[in-house]
A = this chain, B = another copy of it.
Amino acid sequence: MSAKLRLHYDRLFPAEASTREIARALYESVEKLPIISPHGHTDPSWFADNQPFADPAELLIVPDHYVFRMLYSQGSPLESLGIGTDPGKRSEEQSRRIWQLFAEHYHLFLATPSRIWLDYVFEKVFGMSEVLNAETATGYYDQIADCLRRDNFRPRALFDRFNIEVLATTESPLDALARHDAIAGSDWPGRVITTYRPDPVVDPDFEGFSANVERLGELTGQDTSRWPGYLQAHRDRRDYFIQRGATATDHGHPTAQTADLSSQQCQVLLDKALTGRISADEAEQFRAQMLCEMAAMSLEDGLVMQLHPGSFRNHNRDVFAGFGRDKGADIPVRTEYVRALKPLLDKFGNRADFTLILFTLDESTYSRELAPLAGHYPCLKLGPAWWFHDSPEGMRRFREMTTETAGFYNTVGFNDDTRAFMSIPARHDVARRMDAAYLARLVAEHQLGESDAFELIRTLSYDLVKAAYKL
């Protein structure tokens, strides 16, 4: 039971020898490039405060819904994984119990991206040399906990060690961005920027929507109960975010629906939304309209726009009631783009000075809708394989189903989109390996020249993302 953990040098590359050799060479040419992380959900207070991470369970299990959803699906109660309990009140014994439980079920993650990322973290960050299992769990806990007490495992040190050139977090318009100010005001040169994520104030179904909009008014001195004031408040906060480094907005809508309504209609919808007397259809209209408004503002202030639609959030009623959001119960649904985006594209689709990056959880749209749209409209780009598809197979399918129609240059490189800071290098490593593997196959099949492949692997790993996100 003490199998060796040993990340293979050629992991994720095709087995066929000539293809593998090309893949390896391509990968080696970008392996050490800095990481650009333009979209994610890490906590800026880590880098503002630079306090040590608490313990192995708190670092790697409790906040990672990829990890605990799988354990939960196989019968481990969420409580047993520390979900819903105050981390401050957790004893070391409790943390060790969580870790042990996780270790005992580590086989559940075989052939999943979570295991790829975790094994990378275990070996590359914490220097573990045996596979995690019930027997090695205690040794793991001890060694990781020991590391976390050292200065060179504090957030800023890891950020530097991870070779991160820029990391974007995501904040609500109501956030004062004090932590970003603290980072900027510190002597640490790490670049941690924010992203304007207005869901709490543009989605009538968001918890506390109307209080949020009122707060938005207070922050900006605008009358956010009136449509013009509400829009102006957005403009003000976007400016505030831009001053803290933001180059992008992000929108997590249930669908990709957009709309182009009159300001009179907008006022009516806003009134209903603020009083909570808004129907599901009207709430959808409101969100749809706000995508067009955000696009219009992007044309003014230059923020790149990102749309992440198609997740049925909080699908599990009891888990939501008992534990809240982001507990592994967000389930993708069929997503339509062609008709949904038309109102926005009719207004701004032909503007080459506007960028709208589209993501999807519905892979059937890759070749049918997204690649044809991005291969035509100047404003559109395709975000990388997202969430459940941020995985070797997911990345392979993304390239296979989008490249022939949209090419490489209508894509924007990789996003890690993670809350799991430790996994960032692992995720970018997987992305670079899978791109190398894809390009290597094209070279081996004589569809692509070798020198083109070397240019492309750098473009996909570094250049496109900087250009697309204006970083």
Contacts and interface: CB of A to CB of B under 8 A. Distances in A.
Interface of A: 3, 7-8, 10-16, 18-19, 69-70, 72-75, 107-113, 116, 131, 312, 315-319, 328-334, 336, 338-339, 342, 345-346, 349-350, 352, 361-364, 367-369, 371-378, 380, 388-389, 391-394, 400-401, 403-410, 441-442, 444-449, 451-452, 455-456
Given A316-B349, A334-B336, A350-B318, A448 B110 contact: yes
Nearest to A312: B338
29 contacts: A10-B446, A15-B16, A70-B407, A73-B375, A73-B376, A75-B378, A107-B455, A110-B407, A111-B408, A111-B442, A112-B405, A312-B338, A315-B338, A316-B349, A316-B377, A319-B350, A328-B376, A331-B369, A331-B376, A332-B369, A333-B338, A334-B336, A362-B368, A364-B364, A364-B368, A367-B394, A391-B404, A392-B404, A392-B447
B316 A3 contact: no
Given A73-B374, A73-B380, A316 B111 contact: no
A403 B315 contact: no
Contact of A74 (B371, B378, B389, B391): B378
A346 B368 CA distance: 29
A81 B19 CA distance: 38
A356 to B, nearest CB: 12
Contacts of A18: 15
Nearest to A390: B404
A82 to B, nearest CB: 17
A3 B460 CA distance: 22
A416 to B, nearest CB: 16
A433 B460 CA distance: 28
Each complex incorporates copies of this chain amounting to 3
A403 B333 contact: no
Nearest to A360: B368
A369 B333 contact: yes
A107 B338 CA distance: 27
B388 A393 contact: no
B349 A445 contact: no
A393 to B, nearest CB: 5
Contacts of A394: 367, 404
A231 to B, nearest CB: 24
**Nearest 7 pairs of A and B residues by beta carbon:** A8-B446, A15-B444, A11-B446, A75-B352, A391-B404, A364-B364, A317-B346
Given A318-B346, A318-B350, A393-B403, 13 more contacts: A10-B445, A11-B446, A14-B445, A107-B409, A108-B409, A110-B407, A315-B376, A316-B345, A318-B349, A332-B369, A392-B447, A393-B401, A394-B404
A86 to B, nearest CB: 23
A456 B110 contact: yes
A387 to B, nearest CB: 9
A13 B445 contact: yes
A12 B446 contact: yes
Most buried by B among A7, A400, A445: A445
A15 B445 contact: yes
Nearest to A111: B403
A345 B329 CA distance: 12
A452 to B, nearest CB: 6
B111 A448 contact: yes
